């Protein structure tokens, strides 16, 4: 059985920040796992180096589930994005090792391929509905079958999730959080208008998506989902904070619009 003899945390920035865990076994086999958490990369790197790596030395790399349970249940402070990003990196790296030792890609160990390709979606952001639709139509012309739409809220100086014109939106950078005026009522009015315009301009042969960025209460999210039902969204993403799992049940009781988390 391969024993873990070392684990290294690698922080790089080839255009954006990445945190990678490299686990090394006594037989020379290595495995890689991604631990990137946008805007909190160094927090994850520190948690891995200070708390996780010491727990791995000497363990059987084949006992993936045992290691996962130990890291999750053995710590007093559980869950949270930093902890789970670190555990996920260990889990992925150990599967990488198992696949190499078996001489098979990991997807074969997990039951084999179920499809030969996967659908991806494009982002269409704009400060106005017209701007967003123009970007979305350009992405549709490129061949995208799914497009996420986000637009500014009229009357607000800025809208979370929509970058300034020409800039790249980074959802979780390392800067201090921005403070801005927000109006849920204005937001709930403009989003259905956005998707009404999108269907009129783009038709029904494209999947449309929207990210709420955790900004609503369960009742508000249910209200939005109901208002979006005529436009057949592929999903509305992160309607409420993910920590409250019961909120999703409440939302689903009131709308058929799918939820992505």
% of residues, the chain, pLDDT over 90:
81
Q: Are the beta carbons of 256 and 222 closer than 8 angstroms? A: no
Residue among 148, 215, 158, 149 nearest 188 (CA): 215
Domain definitions of the chain by residue range: 4-109, 122-260
Q: Are the beta carbons of 173 and 38 closer than 8 angstroms? A: yes
From 47, 144, 160, 187, the catalytic residue: 160
The pLDDT tens digits of the residues spanning 140-170 come to 999 999 999 999 998 777 776 676 555 566 6
Mode of pairing for the β-strands spanning 18-25 and 235-237:
unpaired
Q: What does DSSP assign to residue 77?
A: S
Catalytic, 160? Answer yes
pLDDT at 170: 62
Q: Which of 3.30.390.10, 3.40.50.10260, 1.10.8.60, 3.40.50.280 would CATH assign to domain 4-109? A: 3.30.390.10
Q: Which range (15-24, 107-116, 123-132, 164-173) has the least confidence?
A: 164-173
What's the whole-number mean pLDDT along residues 82-105?
97
CA distance 25 to 7: 9
Q: Please give the order of strands across the beta sheet that includes 207-211.
A: 122-126, 146-151, 207-211, 235-237, 259-260
Q: Which of 3.20.20.120, 3.10.20.30, 3.30.465.10, 3.40.50.261 would CATH assign to domain 122-260? A: 3.20.20.120
From 207, 213, 214, 254, the catalytic residue: 213
- Identical fold at 4-109 and 122-260? no
- Kindly state the helix (H) or strand (E) to which residue 134 belongs, with its residue range: helix 129-141
Structure tokens at 257: 């619009």
Catalytic, 213? Answer yes
């Amino acid at each position: 059985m391969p024993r873990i003899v070392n684990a290294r945390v690698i922080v790089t920035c080839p255009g954006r920040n990445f945190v990678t865990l490299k686990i090394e076994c006594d037989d020379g086999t290595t495995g890689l796992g991604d631990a990137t958490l946008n805007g909190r990369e160094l927090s994850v790197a520190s948690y891995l180096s200070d708390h996780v790596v010491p727990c791995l030395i000497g363990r059987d790399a084949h006992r993936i589930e045992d290691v996962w349970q130990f890291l999750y249940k053995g710590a007093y402070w559980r869950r949270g994005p930093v902890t789970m990003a670190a555990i996920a990196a260990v889990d992925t790296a150990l599967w990488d090792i198992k696949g190499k030792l078996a001489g098979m890609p990991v997807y074969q160990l997990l039951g084999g391929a179920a499809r030969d390709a996967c659908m991806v979606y494009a982002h269409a952001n704009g400060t106005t509905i017209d701007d967003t639709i123009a970007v979305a139509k350009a992405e549709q012309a490129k061949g995208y079958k799914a497009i996420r739409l986000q637009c500014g809220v009229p009357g607000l100086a800025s809208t979370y999730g929509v970058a300034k014109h020409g800039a790249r939106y980074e959802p979780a950078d390392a800067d201090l959080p921005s403070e801005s005026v927000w109006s849920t009522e204005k937001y709930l009015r403009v989003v259905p208008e956005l998707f009404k315009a999108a269907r009129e301009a783009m038709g029904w042969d494209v999947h449309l998506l929207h990210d709420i960025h955790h900004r609503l209460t369960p009742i508000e999210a249910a209200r939005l989902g109901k208002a979006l039902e005529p436009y057949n969204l592929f999903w509305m993403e992160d309607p409420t904070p993910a920590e409250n799992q019961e909120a999703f049940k409440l939302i689903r009781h009131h709308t058929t619009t799918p939820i992505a988390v």
